Amino acid sequence: MTIQKNTNNVTNITHHQQRIDLAAAFQTAARLNLHEAVANHFSLAVNEDGTEFLINPNQRHFSLIKSSDILLLDANDPTTMDRPDAPDPTAWGLHGSVHRHVPHARCIMHVHSPYATALACLEDASLPPLDQNCAMFYERYAVDTNYGGLALEAEGERCARLFSDPKIKVLIMGNHGLLVLGKTVADTFDRLYYFERAAMTYIHALQTGKKLRILSHEVALKTADELDNYGIQADRHFDDLKLILDREGSDYRN
């Protein structure tokens, strides 16, 4: 089979490859039902201190976002929301705050995915090391139990302070959803995908009403450490996701 890729790439805009990867993440998230219409946001830092970042345009469905649609913002620019193409206020409040205060947060993905959000609504929203996917996040997430409404600037600043420990890559946002950090789009999307799978396994196991068999601290920690050093799986995963989009004739590269 010959793969026909889109050739009408927009090459006269900055950060072209980063835009392509981010657009692929948006469209794949829509295909996998990890998004919530036009309400969620992905961002990617493009300068050394992380304060300049790419993010999706305001109120655009993930399945329609192309590389040329993506905005370039400066977290330290107080006039951002006065722009004619201003981002969604909650995107600016949450992602702007994290990029401003958490330089190791190179890529940020915020979703209201079904199983992670269901987990976030439980009184105990922690994710026990029930299987290998769950163990991937052992001692690598935090639970926020102080939801204060829409993630406008004050709420975004509060959430940003919860990432002071670089080991924490996932925030289970109580009564809200999920926030995932990573080094690259591929690294972050892979973490987002597996967290949703882990939450699905846990929710399904709870639904049986039977006693859960939880991994020991030692085994869970060993598994998490091993998965941290497993190699290039995230890159391979994301390369194949882009290949699937290309085979389907997606316009994400445009």
98 Cβ contact list (under 8 Å, min separation 6): 105, 108, 156, 159, 160, 163, 179, 181
Per-residue pLDDT of the chain (254 residues; tens, 9 = 90+): 334 344 344 445 799 999 999 999 999 999 999 999 899 999 999 999 999 999 999 999 999 999 999 999 999 999 999 999 999 999 999 999 999 999 999 999 999 999 999 999 999 999 999 999 999 999 999 999 999 889 888 899 999 999 999 999 999 999 999 999 999 999 999 999 999 999 999 999 999 999 999 999 999 999 999 999 887 899 999 999 999 999 999 999 99
Write the burial class of residue 40 (CB in 10 Å: 0-12 exposed, 13-18 middle, 19+ buried): buried
Q: CA–CA separation, 181 vs 187, rounded Å?
A: 9
Cα first-last separation, the chain: 23
For domain 16-247, the CATH superfamily is Class II aldolase/adducin N-terminal domain (3.40.225.10)
pLDDT tens digit sequence for 86-110 = 999 999 999 999 999 999 999 999 9
> Whole-model pTM?
0.93
Task: Taking the CA atoms of 158, 163, 169 and 171 in sequence, report the sign of the dihedral they define.
Answer: negative
pLDDT tens digit sequence for 218-242 = 999 999 999 998 878 999 999 999 9
Domain map (residue ranges) of the chain? 16-247
Q: CA–CA separation, 21 vs 30, rounded Å?
A: 14
> Helix, strand or coil for residue 144?
strand
Write the burial class of residue 165 (CB in 10 Å: 0-12 exposed, 13-18 middle, 19+ buried): exposed
Strands (E) across the chain are located at 41-45, 52-55, 71-74, 107-111, 141-144, 170-173, 177-182
Q: CA–CA separation, 82 vs 105, rounded Å?
A: 25
